[in-house]
Amino acid sequence: MLEAKTGGKHSAKLFLNGQLGSEQDTVNDVALGTTDFSILASNNLTPFSPSLGILSLPYIFENLDQAIAATEGPIADELVENTIRDSNTRILGWTYSGFRVLSNSKKPIKKLADLDGVVVRVPKNEIMIDTYKSWGSIQRQWPGLKPLQPCNRA
């Protein structure tokens, strides 16, 4: 479709299901110029551009309209500029696939006290880790995720 819409000027090849590595791996590849484009969750870009971590906090948005407003206004402009500066990558657009909430198979989580005794697994995203720690929740990082190294731009 890209070729057809651009008169053959541009083409794309899709690599699905992690064929090029993890989402975090593709951030490095984009920063180095070995991959042109990657679609990933903002929390997987956060280790490279920490200000994006704000988007990963549970309950930060009450509805889709709030999420869209945050990613289309001055806040989004700042997040994009920070990401260019911090990771040598550029955010081209935003998608919305739901909002982070706390759920588990044991009991409902409606207030901080409900976290007592609940183990929360979080990605290696400092703002998420610090948030859950500040709530007194025991956190574990997802098993199998390797430590991320922000790209050094020389």
> Which pLDDT tens digit goes with each residue over 114-140?
887 777 777 777 777 787 778 776 555
Same domain, 45 and 83: yes
Q: Tokens 């042109």 belong to which residue? A: 36
Same domain, 85 and 141: no
Same domain, 37 and 91: yes
b/e for 61-72, b at 16 or more Cβ within 10 A? beeeeebeebbe
Does the predicted TM-score (pTM) go above 0.85?
no
Same domain, 10 and 79: yes
Same domain, 32 and 107: no
**72 pLDDT tier (thresholds 50, 70, 90):** very high
CA dist 111 → 4, 100, 116 (Å): 52, 15, 10
The number of domains in the chain is 2
Q: Cα 68 vs. chain centroid, distance in angstroms? A: 16
| Domain housing 134 | 102-145
Report how far residue 19's alpha carbon sits from residue 28's, in angstroms, rounded to the nearest whole number: 15
pLDDT tens digits, 55-65: 887 778 888 89
**6 pLDDT tier (thresholds 50, 70, 90):** very high
Same domain, 110 and 127: yes
